[in-house]
Structure 1
Amino acid sequence: MNFYIQAANILDKLFAHKGTIKSLTLADNVKEKKKMYALICETLKYKNVINTILDNSQIFDVEKKVFPRNVAILLVHDLLFSPNGIKSLSNGPYKQTILRHEIRLRGELARLKIKMKVKNNKDLINSEIRESIVIPRYIRVNTLKTSIKKVIEHFQAKGFTHEEPTDDLKSIRPKTIREDKHLPNLLILPPNMDLHEDALYLSDDIILQDKASCIPAFICSPPLNSHVIDACAAPGNKTSHLSAIMQNTGKIWAIDLDKHRLNLLKNLIQKAGCKNVEAIYGSFLDIDPMDQKYSSVGYILLDPSCSGSGIINRLDHLIDTSKTQEQSDLSHKFKEQRLENLSEFQEKMILHAFKFRSVQKIVYSTCSIYAEENEHVIKRALDQTDLFVLANKDDILPSWTRRGISSEINDDKGIAEKFIRTSPNEDYTNGFFVACFVRKAVQPINTKTDGGLKSKKRKRKKDVTIIKIKDDDEWKVNISNDNSLLSKRSAINNGEKKKKNASQFN
């Protein structure tokens, strides 16, 4: 019975919004995680039905001893809707109580089915749950270990049919596999496929990762030998994706403030064969942008804490079904306050990323559907920088049609087009938001003089382009030929030269 007591405690926390189904059922203190997850999910499907049966049976009026309702809900679920029942359970007062009322409970179930005009128990489940969106099983090929060709051949050997890519993911036939239309090295299988015992999963040749979660690293796409920061890295799927894109070259600093999740990251990158990743325990906000260690960081991936409102889990949604108006009002206020706190944190993360002097691209993403965490955060960040702009649509998955919500940014369709949104209902993937900042291109000043600086030798005489950049209190000069920026070098080493050169440019 201890298993049911623990399950009841999980239900208590779920109804109090103190965690999600996955976080609570897969916690370290849960021994039988798979069994617990299944029990909680199945019980929530029938929660409203079970509550009706319990109320109509008047068990709590008859029984004088205190009987926790959530324990009763779990036991009644297994009694009426589980093929194994509860008779094989170890004896205890709660089990005996339910069994004493078994005939009455089964009678109420029969009456409810007659009233609702259904024959099967599954038809008692809320239609919203029965018809909920089921997204395909996405697998990302770990190119550090294998190739997409070999993975497809592996599944073909198991009887799968390789089909052509398509936009229609609503009805995927059983035992089929296809490549994704938008992202490389991403394969699509039918929904609800359990691959946890598959040889490729066990060897980390494939990563179980939702399509939307693969978009940020793909848009970031650091070149080989780049220096990269993954600012909120755990549990590590995006980090390992970056490592694969970079082909294990360069350097990735994977930072996370949650020690447990960071350990998951360390384990994942080790098994995935990522050799260019250094895991750092701490907050990205505490990283000094002026630290020489990060002086060459050119790319930052920001996937900060968010509401998670885009993640498909209809069972979590069920937890809110039986609220009073007062409870709904309190929940709404709590949601507004939480979104405000999250958006402030997300904005701080972006502004901190702006401070890294060599960074050229910053990719921001959330698994949230709320504009407060997405368009609103980006707009406030843009209002506070003169150094960064949003990347053009053509540079961030141009084939993707679903873009930002213009009404959330003063009806500016031009800016909205530079965002990416994914919709579970339309795209059959989790809800995501992605934006990409790039360092603003400086305007060149064409001149015949090199401003006293030496330029590189050229095969033929060309104009020298001197570009002035005001960075905090220091003037920097860049030299390029044919308007292509070759390097960033400081031309000023002391205060006198600063003033001299500044006046020379002004």
Structure 2
Amino acid sequence: MVKQTLNSTLDSDLPDVTSLNLLDQESSPKNKTHTPLSPMRKVCVQSLKKRVTAVSAERNRVRMEREGTPLGFPDSVYFHAAAIFQRTHVEKDLAHRLIRYGHISPSGDDDDDDDDGDKDSGIVDDGDPSTKQNEHWAYELAFNTLKYQDLLEEILIDSYFYRSQQMPDDLMALVVVILYDLLDRKFQTREPIKRVEEGLIKEVRQVEDSLYRFKTKLEASLAQYRIKQNLLTIDSYLPPAVRAKQQRSQTVPLYAWVNTLKASIEDMCETLRTSGFTQVDSHINLVGNVFCKDKHCSNVLLFPRRLRKQLEKTKLVTEHTLIIQDKSRSLAACAVHPLLGKGGDILMVGSFSALTVAHVAVQATACSGCVHVCGVLNVSTFNKELQSILTSTGCKNVKLMSEYFNELNEWDLRIQKVRVIVLLPQCSASALCNPVEFILNENGDRGLLHGLSKGTISDSKLDALVAKQKQDLSHALNFPKVKGIVYCTCSVYPEENEQLVKRALENADSKAKAVAFR
């Protein structure tokens, strides 16, 4: 069993408190009055402003370095993020419900018959890099909005935006999503997205214009909330578990594994050194154009996260000699090699990406083995991407099976040489600092986003995940010729890790194998 915590959540910063002094420059609803700030209150405002200035400057620098994220997004990203938020958020009971959210269609006005798009985002997964980027932005934006949902609702109520603007309920999900982004970029103007296919969506422009007109009151309401709650940074509003992950995400390195079918690890290090990179011994201080070897995986290198865009432009990455991927999947792939004998095959089961299949296939090639992947031919988009990745990485030892794992048995002639089963089930993703990136890239459970945004997973959801994991692991233990099982989750819950493995071993059929699993 392999476990690894990954950290890559984008951090956020909201406006400072200077807008409090501008509160009376906009007209307020007649039934709402504001008391002028007392001298003591003004001192508190000035003091808080000084305390957050240094923090805001640093966080602005971090925001500008985050992975290619512009100031603002295309209209379609906001619209799809609102659709994700609307169907992901949990409706509060009437006593605590501040804002009502109606239904929002996951497609724009000019695309009424988009029935083939992603069922969650409304974005069609056609394999195009810009489309995948839009999907990632939409989910990241919806996830961050979920984190701050209660705070955003308080701001909309306190500023009287919710009452005075009279927005229809079916646009309120769009309102909170755009409000989060506007506060995150301090109401700076959106950067133009220079892509011809990006059209305008009138609802997005309508909501954005309305929020801009209320800019001063919205910022003032946030500032008043921060003073009242004594929040040095807006992150202090988040639950401790979520805040800790967000803080750790700022220091996590970028992981990339070397495709040894194209270059050895030594050749890769030499190529990087001749390209201006400096090799260091430790990952503790990855600053500048540096890299180091991973201490757990022999073919994995670490880089500063800010170098991602720079690396993605190199032939090393575009030609899949160096492949950027989170470490949890590299750990699983590297755990296969010591278990695999000469000519032994591997069976892959669960939820994973085409890159993960390729990494396992590279490991199997060293032992002249094949990789059998079950249950993928039913998903045409994944199958297409997988074939493309396998071709570009040079992997020729992968065989696809249309059957699901529970439909296979020990008598199947195709898997008679399988000696290792790699089981990568959908899990709670509770150990991840950026679960959105992992869930999208590794075909995880998108229904987890609301719980993860609050730092908790419901018992019913966890029970359902554990039941499936137990079913698959128990089935894997029944193959008599299998010598090893790599079971990998990204969870902090014992129910998905040690406890599940222990119970599966206790319930395993001892007669199925001459040598029992340990």
TM-score, length-scaled by structure 1: 0.64
2:428 aligned partner: 307
SS at match of 2:350: coil
1:337 aligned partner: 460
2:477 to 339, 354, 362: 354
Letter in 1 for 2:286: I
2:252 aligned partner: 135
* Aligned partners of 1:49 and 1:124 also within 8 Å: no
Give RMSD over aligned pairs: 3.9
**2:193 paired with 1:74:** no
Shift of 1:12: 1.7
SS at match of 1:246: helix
1:410 aligned partner: none
* Aligned partners of 2:257 and 2:323 also within 8 Å: yes
Q: Any gaps of 5 or more consecutive residues in structure 1?
A: 390-436, 442-506
Shift of 1:109: 4.6
Cα separation, partners in 2 of 1:314 and 1:132, compared to 1, 3 Å: farther
**2:263 paired with 1:146:** yes
C-alpha deviations, 1:108-141, integer Å up to 9, x for none? 355556667789x877875657624442111110
Shift of 1:81: 3.7
Distance 2:176 2:373 in 1: 43
SS at match of 2:401: strand
Shift of 1:349: 1.8
Distance 1:247 1:314 in 2: 31
* Aligned partners of 1:86 and 1:95 also within 8 Å: no
1:450 aligned partner: none
Distance 1:352 1:322 in 2: 33
* Aligned partners of 1:135 and 1:191 also within 8 Å: yes
Letter in 1 for 2:259: N
**2:221 paired with 1:108:** yes
* Aligned partners of 2:478 and 2:509 also within 8 Å: no
1:280 aligned partner: 401
**2:158 paired with 1:56:** yes
SS at match of 1:207: strand
2:294 aligned partner: 180
Cα separation, partners in 2 of 1:247 and 1:130, compared to 1, 3 Å: closer
Shift of 1:41: 5.9
Moved more, 76-85 or 206-215: 76-85
Q: Any gaps of 5 or more consecutive residues in structure 2?
A: 1-74, 92-117, 193-199, 437-445
Cα separation, partners in 2 of 1:303 and 1:191, compared to 1, 3 Å: same
Cα separation, partners in 2 of 1:157 and 1:35, compared to 1, 3 Å: farther
C-alpha deviations, 1:392-432, integer Å up to 9, x for none? xxxxxxxxxxxxxxxxxxxxxxxxxxxxxxxxxxxxxxxxx
1:97 aligned partner: 210
2:346 aligned partner: 228
Distance 1:87 1:312 in 2: 27
* Aligned partners of 2:143 and 2:449 also within 8 Å: no
Cα separation, partners in 2 of 1:336 and 1:38, compared to 1, 3 Å: closer
Shift of 1:309: 2.0
1:197 aligned partner: 313
Q: Percent identity, aligned pairs only? A: 25
Distance 1:305 1:28 in 2: 23
C-alpha deviations, 1:273-313, integer Å up to 9, x for none? 11011122331110131122222222221222222222222
Distance 1:80 1:345 in 2: 40
C-alpha deviations, 1:459-491, integer Å up to 9, x for none? xxxxxxxxxxxxxxxxxxxxxxxxxxxxxxxxx
Letter in 1 for 2:493: Y
* Aligned partners of 1:161 and 1:176 also within 8 Å: yes
2:503 to 366, 380, 385: 380
Moved more, 287-296 or 49-58: 49-58
* Aligned partners of 2:155 and 2:221 also within 8 Å: yes
1:253 to 372, 387, 405: 372
Cα separation, partners in 2 of 1:241 and 1:255, compared to 1, 3 Å: same
* Aligned partners of 2:428 and 2:462 also within 8 Å: yes
SS at match of 1:188: strand
1:269 to 370, 390, 393: 390
Letter in 1 for 2:162: F
Distance 1:251 1:60 in 2: 59
SS at match of 2:432: coil
SS at match of 1:53: helix
2:442 aligned partner: none
* Aligned partners of 2:82 and 2:173 also within 8 Å: yes
Cα separation, partners in 2 of 1:303 and 1:102, compared to 1, 3 Å: closer
Using CA pairs under 8 Å that are at least 6 residues apart, name the structure with larger relative contact order, 1 or 2. 2
C-alpha deviations, 1:323-382, integer Å up to 9, x for none? 8xxxx9xx86xx323333332322222232233332222222222221112222222222
1:440 aligned partner: 516
SS at match of 2:317: helix
TM-score, length-scaled by structure 2: 0.62
C-alpha deviations, 1:177-206, integer Å up to 9, x for none? 001122211111113532433321111111
Shift of 1:229: 1.2
SS at match of 1:289: coil
Distance 1:59 1:285 in 2: 53
Cα separation, partners in 2 of 1:64 and 1:385, compared to 1, 3 Å: closer
Distance 1:201 1:191 in 2: 15
Shift of 1:53: 2.6
Cα separation, partners in 2 of 1:369 and 1:5, compared to 1, 3 Å: same
More strand by share: 1
